[in-house]
Amino acid sequence: MWRYLFCFVLVLNLVNSVSAANLSLTPLVALPGEVVPRFGLNLGGPSYWGAEQLRANIVRNPGFEPLLDRSLVIVDRLDGRQITDRDAWVARPDGFWIGGQFQVLTGALAGKAGRIRDYRRNDKGPGLFWFEHDLQTLQTGDVISVEKTARLTGVPQWWPQGRASLVAQVSPSGGQYALRLQSTAAQAAGVSSFFDTLGGSAGRLLPVTGAWQLNFRVKMPRAGAKLQVRFSRDGAAPFVMQTLTPTTEWQSIHLTWQGTETPQAKASPLALSFSSEGDGEIWLDDVYLGEAVAQSGGFRRAVVDTLKALKPGYLRDWQGQLGDRVANRFASELARQPIRYRAGEGESFFAYSVPELFALCAEVSAAPWVVGPPTLSVAEWQEFGRLLRKSADQLQLDEVVLEFGNENWNALFRPAGLSNVNQHREAADRALASAKRGFGIGRRLITVVNAPFAWPDSPGPIVAAAHADRVAVAPYFFYDVQVQDTEQVNRGKALQSQQAVLQKQQQRAQVAGKRLAIYEVNFHSTQGSADAKARNQIVTTAISGVALARQLLDAALLGIREQAVYSLAGFSFKLHDGLGDVALFGISRDLTTAQRLRPTGLALAMLNEVSGGKPWRYQCQGSVEACRDLVVLGFADTATASPTRMAMVNASTQAHALQIPCQAAIKWRLLDGRQPGDNEGDRAKVNVVRGQSVCQQGMASVKLPAESLLVVSARGS
């Protein structure tokens, strides 16, 4: 039911219901620059609760590794060896950072490293640090990276009960720790993990369907206990319910079953629990729970199949990994640590690795767009570049995009970002130069710094970063939705072009010898007084796909090569003041099955059917007003060939009758922006219509409804 549908009567009825402007399109000129890839996509990070069910192994921290904390201190005052942080962002409990490591990233002492001797909170919130070295030449504003692994406290990403802790234990998987459960006859000890907890109208976002398995390693150093293992959905019979008596040596347990759940059933959480009962001690390690056959990079089949349908040119891996280590970014799933860069019990998370991302990219024919942590030292950046190159060589990936952090200017990421543009530029230059040395020559590495799109002077002074090839912005649109705005007003606002702003920013970047890139783009309908229902009339319906396509085509016509839509999956965003939940930011409603695409996802898939290659500008002949509202971009297979594929958006309220040059019959796909309904329920109501037109005397006729997206290619291409 989620396939493209063949329907020709619908198109004719919609076009014939209004008068059509007669327009003729001819290739005008190839855009300057190089061959461009297909439009990209932010893969996003995995979650326990929402639509972002990316990983085949749904367990977070399956190797029971300790939490890695890493943040950035901005020097506010220096008093002897006491350094006062500028902000409270890095604040942790008294003594937390003692024994950790520091590295100076900017200023005259850049490169200086050592141990943290003491740490205290002061009355105003920011922390006080004492380092083992005399750092008297530090200056106000200098940036210092601090890190600490709390090795034996807590069980990160799990919910413990009783005496549950980590114990140093080397695993064949490469992990360094295991879980220890110490129970008595009077008190059990255990851990639990919960999944698919969003609930509400979302339904089951992670159905247990097909062949599943639960694997783990276990031993009992001190006899006397039994291990209870349970995996179930609330209110239903358990999938796994086992009682085991482990031996004194490590055993590998492998449990399998066939799941029969459906996405449409009533939502309730999934829970996995391990419990030691009786007087004894049980150790656990290396847990796998999920689909019996993981896909490339360890991702779920629905993820891989959806990406193959979307055909992204790039996959951007922004997950929040700003405080990670290089070794951890390349560690195996069972040896990888959970990470945190912001204070708070709920701020830790478990990320997929760079090799897993690269394997997925190779499977779906995308180039990787990697976000590097700003907390890394220069030496770490060089190692990062070396390992990126090694992974690219192994999988024959010709191009890698490497971005210095994520939205350094944004205060939300200040705990591991450089909001001061001078510090940002200095640190980024050192980092990216070092990464280039590590990466070497022979494959393409595109280095990126980021800047705010909405600021009047954007991209601003960051363009002076000497070792950045691109300055990336995020031209989100349709932010503000007011209660008094009608649906037609909102449709017009959604279709508005931002090309003039992007053009100014592109020109500013080019003056500095750089080009603009787009790291995120989508609707951002989170402001204003309208309720969620009014917003969802736009962001869930067919017009949303047309509007997103216009933004992508407008940017491509300016010569912007790298673009990444945000993001693969995301069920909803909670609005302020109780206005409800708006269906942002996923172009997939969820990943219960493959291709649960919203209209924005349909539009990206359509564009990537024809994009990639040498871009061409077209000339429109006909009504000046109609031509002004028609956005057209063509693609040729090579830099010297004529275009054989094209995409166009009709942003006007008038239909168009198009004459398109051809050599043989053409095929087309249409997303009519005036289709009723959405794809939020069990049945897709917004669909793409396919058809073909004959070629007569070198021209083919195609009818394009108002507020619609059309892609065209030579038949057989």
Return d(Cα 98, Cα 150) in angstroms, integer: 10
User: Under DSSP, is residue 414 helix (H, G, I), strand (E, B) or coil?
Assistant: helix
The pLDDT score that the predictor gives to residue 88 is 86
Which amino acid type is present at position 539? V
The pLDDT score that the predictor gives to residue 345 is 84
Q: CA angle, 458 as apex, 457 and 463 as ends, to 5°?
A: 110
pLDDT digits (tens, 9 = 90+) for 628-653: 999 999 999 988 899 999 999 999 99
The CATH number of residue 417's host domain is 3.20.20.80
Beta bridge partners of 231: 240, 272
pLDDT at 18 over 60: no
What Rg do the C-alpha atoms of the chain give, in angstroms? 27
Which amino acid type is present at position 146? V
Q: Is the dihedral of CA 567, 573, 576, 579 positive or negative?
A: positive
Residues 6+ apart with CB under 8 A from 453: 473, 474, 475, 476, 501, 505
User: How is the beta sheet containing 367-372 ordered, strand by strand?
Assistant: 515-518, 470-473, 444-450, 399-404, 367-372, 314-316, 40-42, 564-565
Q: Are 301 and 216 within one domain?
A: no
> Does any domain span residue 652?
yes
The pLDDT score that the predictor gives to residue 49 is 83
pLDDT digits (tens, 9 = 90+) for 52-69: 999 999 999 999 999 999
Q: Are 631 and 686 within one domain?
A: yes
Residue at a domain's end among 559, 589, 610: 610
Closest listed residue to residue 302, CA positions, set 655, 679, 675, 591: 591
> Does any domain span residue 62?
no
> Does any domain span residue 4?
no
Which amino acid type is present at position 113? A
How much is the average pLDDT of 108-131? 90
User: How many beta carbons lie within 10 A of that of residue 136, not counting itself?
Assistant: 9
The pLDDT score that the predictor gives to residue 151 is 74
Q: Are 642 and 557 within one domain?
A: no
pLDDT at 6 over 50: no
pLDDT digits (tens, 9 = 90+) for 276-312: 999 999 999 999 999 999 999 999 999 999 999 999 9
Closest listed residue to residue 350, CA positions, set 588, 67, 60, 93: 60
Q: Which domain holds residue 371?
A: 40-56+295-610
Which amino acid type is present at position 397? L
The CATH number of residue 227's host domain is 2.60.120.260
* pLDDT classification of 91: cutoffs 50, 70, 90: confident
Residue at a domain's end among 149, 173, 203: 149
pLDDT digits (tens, 9 = 90+) for 559-580: 999 999 999 999 999 999 999 9
Return d(Cα 486, Cα 542) in angstroms, integer: 17
User: How many beta carbons lie within 10 A of that of residue 597, not counting itself?
Assistant: 24
The pLDDT score that the predictor gives to residue 119 is 95
Closest listed residue to residue 366, CA positions, set 594, 598, 4, 42: 42
Q: Are 551 and 691 within one domain?
A: no
Q: Are 167 and 285 within one domain?
A: yes
The CATH number of residue 111's host domain is 2.40.30.20
Residues 6+ apart with CB under 8 A from 545: 598, 599, 600, 601, 602, 603, 606, 671, 673, 686, 709
* pLDDT classification of 187: cutoffs 50, 70, 90: very high
pLDDT at 8 over 60: no
Q: Assess contact for 402 and 445: CB atoms under 8 A.
A: yes
Closest listed residue to residue 284, CA positions, set 66, 57, 64: 64
Q: Are 307 and 338 within one domain?
A: yes
Per the model's pLDDT, the better-predicted residue between 379 and 126 turns out to be 379
Q: Are 341 and 370 within one domain?
A: yes
> Which tokens go with 219?
């031993």
Backbone dihedral region for residue 528 (phi beyond 0: left; psi -120 to 50: alpha; all else: beta): left
Strands 614-621 and 127-131: unpaired
Q: Assess contact for 52 and 569: CB atoms under 8 A.
A: yes
Q: Assess contact for 695 and 662: CB atoms under 8 A.
A: yes
The pLDDT score that the predictor gives to residue 717 is 57
Alpha helices in 175-316 (DSSP H): 301-310
pLDDT at 588 over 60: yes
pLDDT digits (tens, 9 = 90+) for 675-698: 999 999 989 999 999 999 999 999
Per the model's pLDDT, the better-predicted residue between 396 and 639 turns out to be 396
- pLDDT > 70: percent of the chain: 97
The pLDDT score that the predictor gives to residue 617 is 96
pLDDT at 344 over 70: yes
pLDDT digits (tens, 9 = 90+) for 364-377: 999 999 999 999 99
How much is the average pLDDT of 137-165? 93
The pLDDT score that the predictor gives to residue 80 is 80
The pLDDT score that the predictor gives to residue 84 is 93
Residue at a domain's end among 107, 128, 149: 149
Q: Are 447 and 496 within one domain?
A: yes
Q: Assess contact for 225 and 276: CB atoms under 8 A.
A: yes
Q: Are 440 and 480 within one domain?
A: yes
Return d(Cα 456, Cα 505) in angstroms, integer: 10
Q: Are 283 and 354 within one domain?
A: no
Q: Are 652 and 680 within one domain?
A: yes
> Does any domain span residue 3?
no
- Which residue is listed with tokens 């200023």? 107
Q: Are 430 and 311 within one domain?
A: yes
How much is the average pLDDT of 174-186? 97
Q: CA angle, 656 as apex, 655 and 662 as ends, to 5°?
A: 150
How much is the average pLDDT of 201-222? 95
The pLDDT score that the predictor gives to residue 60 is 96
3-state helix, strand, coil in the chain (%, to 5): 20, 35, 45
> Does any domain span residue 2?
no
How much is the average pLDDT of 29-33? 92
| Mean of per-residue pLDDT scores for the chain | 94
Q: Give, for 100, the enclosing helix (H) or strand (E).
A: none
> Does any domain span residue 251?
yes
pLDDT digits (tens, 9 = 90+) for 470-508: 999 999 999 999 999 999 999 999 999 999 999 999 999
pLDDT at 5 over 70: no
Q: What is the Cβ-side half-sphere exposure of residue 682, based on CA atoms within 13 angstroms?
A: 7
Beta bridge partners of 178: 167
Domain total in the chain:
4
User: Under DSSP, is residue 189 helix (H, G, I), strand (E, B) or coil?
Assistant: strand
User: Under DSSP, is residue 459 helix (H, G, I), strand (E, B) or coil?
Assistant: coil
The pLDDT score that the predictor gives to residue 267 is 85
> Does any domain span residue 1?
no
Distances (CA, A) of 156 to 148, 276, 340: 14, 19, 10
> Does any domain span residue 61?
no
